[in-house]
């Protein structure tokens, strides 16, 4: 494991909760606008930037966004909807398996296609199990997921344990971009109780209160994206709630 992993786990070891800002390069933006957003979120205390989207992102768009975001001095991590999101201008990549997908491509073939590029680009791979909870989001549709029963946290734990046994270091519990619901708090709670995985939670987090609930339930990292686009001031409040969840 490399520099970005050490950066993340070092903060967690010191008792910090982390916030990642997700940027979708496929969304219309100007360089000036992205610079403004990046500066705002960095000053608020976000710990890293994720770049990615499930539909339509080109390598050129990903590279342009990565270049702007790196000017903050914070790590830039590819959050790949597919291999088209990969860019050598990022620092690392969530090297993911969509664990509850019914599509073989997302279980292994995407990773096989991506691995030579990750190696060639010099990206630091962060081995990640990715679990999409709800069926009514774009990522669920594109990934052909088998939804997780919300009242069955033990199902998520089984996935997380399997991932840990296969060598994953991270588990990403995803409600989905624009989801009307957050991940059930019982999901990060059970994962943190029984595994040593860095637990990331994203999707549906629209308020400081929801962010606090997630970190108190066991999430190490909170990801917000949609709210950053729609209401930057509220996004800043969410970052501060993550960093000081009293």
Q: Please determine, for residue 95, whether its predicted confidence score (pLDDT) is greater than 70.
A: yes
Q: How far, in Å, CA of 48 to CA of 72, rounded? A: 9
Please tell me whether 204 is known to bind a ligand: yes
**Tens of pLDDT along 206-221?**
999 999 999 999 999 9
Please tell me whether 207 is known to bind a ligand: no
Fold of 3-127+200-243: TIM Barrel (3.20.20)
Strand partners, 223: 20, 202
Please tell me whether 172 is known to bind a ligand: yes
* Reported confidence tier of residue 104, pLDDT bands at 50, 70, 90: very high
The pLDDT value given to residue 72: 97
Please give the structure tokens belonging to residue 8: 């993340």
The pLDDT value given to residue 246: 64
Q: Please determine, for residue 92, whether its predicted confidence score (pLDDT) is greater than 70.
A: yes
Burial of 48 (0-12, 13-18, 19+ CB in 10 A): buried
Please tell me whether 220 is known to bind a ligand: no
Please tell me whether 7 is known to bind a ligand: no
Q: How far, in Å, CA of 188 to CA of 221, rounded? A: 10
Q: What is the pTM of this model?
A: 0.95
Nearest 5°: CA angle at 82, between 136 and 160?
A: 65
Percent of the chain predicted with pLDDT > 90: 80
Q: Please determine, for residue 65, whether its predicted confidence score (pLDDT) is greater than 70.
A: yes
Strand partners, 96: 128
Contact call for residues 12 and 199 (beta carbons, < 8 A): no
Please tell me whether 15 is known to bind a ligand: no
Mean pLDDT value across residues 98-119 = 96
Q: How far, in Å, CA of 85 to CA of 100, rounded? A: 21
Mean pLDDT value across residues 85-114 = 96
* Reported confidence tier of residue 14, pLDDT bands at 50, 70, 90: very high
């Amino acid at each position: 494991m490399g520099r970005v992993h050490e950066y993340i786990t070092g903060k967690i070891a010191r008792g910090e909760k982390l916030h990642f800002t997700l940027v979708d390069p496929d969304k219309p933006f100007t360089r000036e606008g992205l610079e403004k957003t990046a500066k705002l979120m960095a000053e608020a205390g976000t710990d890293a930037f994720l770049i990615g989207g499930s539909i339509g992102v080109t390598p050129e768009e990903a590279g342009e966004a990565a270049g702007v975001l790196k000017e903050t001095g914070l790590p830039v991590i590819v959050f790949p909807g597919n291999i088209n999101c990969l860019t050598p201008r990022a620092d690392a990549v969530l090297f993911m398996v969509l664990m509850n997908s019914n599509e073989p491509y997302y279980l292994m073939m995407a990773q096989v296609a991506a691995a030579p590029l990750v190696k060639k680009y010099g990206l630091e791979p962060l081995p990640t199990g990715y679990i999409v909870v709800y069926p009514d989001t774009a990522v669920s549709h594109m990934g052909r997921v088998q939804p997780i029963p919300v009242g069955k946290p033990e199902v998520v734990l089984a996935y997380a344990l399997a991932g840990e046994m296969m060598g994953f270091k991270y588990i990403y519990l995803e409600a989905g971009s624009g989801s009307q619901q957050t991940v059930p708090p019982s999901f990060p709670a059970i994962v943190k109780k029984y595994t040593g995985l860095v637990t990331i939670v994203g999707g549906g987090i629209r308020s400081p209160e929801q962010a606090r609930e997630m970190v108190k339930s066991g999430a190490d990292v909170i990801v917000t994206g949609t709210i950053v686009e729609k209401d930057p001031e509220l996004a800043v409040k969410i970052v501060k709630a993550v960093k000081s969840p009293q």
